[in-house]
A and B are shown apart, each in its own frame.
Chain A
Amino acid sequence: MSNGSSGKFSGFEREPAVRVFASELRESRIQFKESEDEKSPSYVLLPTGERCNRIFLCGQMTQKEKKGEQNKFYTIRVQDPTGTFFINAGSYQPDAMQQIARIEPPVYVAVLGKPGIRTTADSSVFVSVRAESVTEIDLETYRCWVLDCAQQTLDRLDSFGQTDDSRKAKEFYNTNTAIYRQIIQDALTQIEIQ
């Protein structure tokens, strides 16, 4: 017997939020859909070999900017131990916009959002996150996230080459897994836990 959520008729299943460090997300180049359907979810393939439609990240919000004339939107930068996430929220993300409006840097925030890859006019690639929610958190939660993200990235590296997604990632990115292990180790040694 299958469980409820994987049952044949259960229909919608919420996409889980993958944990990824800024330095890994920044290297992502492939975004794809499984079907032609307009509503089908769009995934970013991470270099460590997992697709993600949604990500969960924590870090220090270092910059907040309001942009746009008629269609206002916010861009914020969030710093984790490995790099910077570029996050935006426009009028189609009213909850996230209002949440950002109430937060002033520098504070720790947790962000839930959808990653996207676009190529700018001068043909450089830019990876950003469209926020679904941005909330202020404490240092303890930030540390928990670093551990969680390190653990899940290590899990991906351990099964690298054994899953379909990671075989694709190997082909496209030619990922050097040792570098990612080094990044994780550096990230972990930057936080202190008593």
Chain B
Amino acid sequence: MSDPGPSPTPEEAAETGTLAASIALKQRAGGIIVPVVTVVFAFVMSFIIVAATQHSVHTALVVFKEIFLGSGLNWLAHPTTNTFTSISAYNLSQTLLQTTPLILTGLAVAFAFRCGMFNIGGNGQYLVGLIVANWLGVDFAGLNPFLHILLCMSAGTLAAAAYAGIAGVLKATVGAHEVISTIMLNWIAYWTASWLFGAGGALQNSTSPTNPVSNQVSPGARLPDFWGKQGFQGLHVGIFVSLAAVVVFWILLNRTTLGYEVRAVGFNPDAAAYGGINVKKNFIRAMAISGAFAGLAGTLDMLGGAQNYQVGQLDIPFIQVGFIGIAVALLGRNTAVGTLLGALLFGGLLYGSFHGLGSSSVIDPTLASNLTYIIQGLVVLFVGADVLILYVWNSRKKARRRPRGKPAERVEATT
């Protein structure tokens, strides 16, 4: 979406608008450069932190090298000389496994954003997808595998859509802010899962009644691995579902009247209402679609990876997938391709720092996973501060331009 428009006059730069409008304005002004600079800043800052706490620049260099190797991205440099047995190929498959749900939770946040809403409830919606997929994946054993998977995925997605829709309905009817209601829905989903899968719960494991875990999803409902080694968790076909969702997201927003309504409401609800668009209906619908993306992520993780649900035992990145989706969407500027790239970055970072640092002795393993959070936090911080980055960027440009006395030109965004 690029437009060769004339530069806005100063008066118009002070437009008041919604969250989505201001984000879009920044996006136009900073283009692809700002997200890249954001990430570079975040890495530089975390590099300084590691170097300072470890009293060694060399250690910091090794740490970042280990993260990179741990993510398996080095495999891309030599895809032919390595077979899957090589460690880098395995690492890459794990990185992509982490990326799979992040793409979807990122799209969930991005879609709500485009309608002017902040869906912080990705975690809760993800859990709903997870729960429903486990329930139906355990039951109906013996069903045709294709139908079984389809049933689990669509039911989980729809349930999450309905669940997120609650926040939309509350916003449209009584004006309850979606940030508050989605956070509360997160906790409701979390404790519902604990109750369902906990000791004596309806979906608790039938063979070991003392363990707060669910049953395993029946083999027929599992998403097959297509890149991996027997006996290890490999990369399952869910990633293709995620990639397809990126395409669906783009088409939905840019090629349907539904998307037109969503964008109009997101940029300017007053103008949308004036145009004849039902703003309240759009709040509910966009929230439900947003929840559907997050719920789909839950079903993929259940059917492809976890197979069961353990109360309080899930990996921390796993349970935080909804929140990381916020960082992914912000970094990706709420666009389809941006979200995809953001998810890949965070997937690599999560697995790379977990595996690369956890298994090596450069750094205390307990510090290692925290470093991921530091980098994550810095990225979110810098994404939030990109106004500042833009400001520095623009004043640098101005300083460079002035001596030549050339008329100002506007940097065009291409996203």
Q: Are A and B bound to each other?
A: no
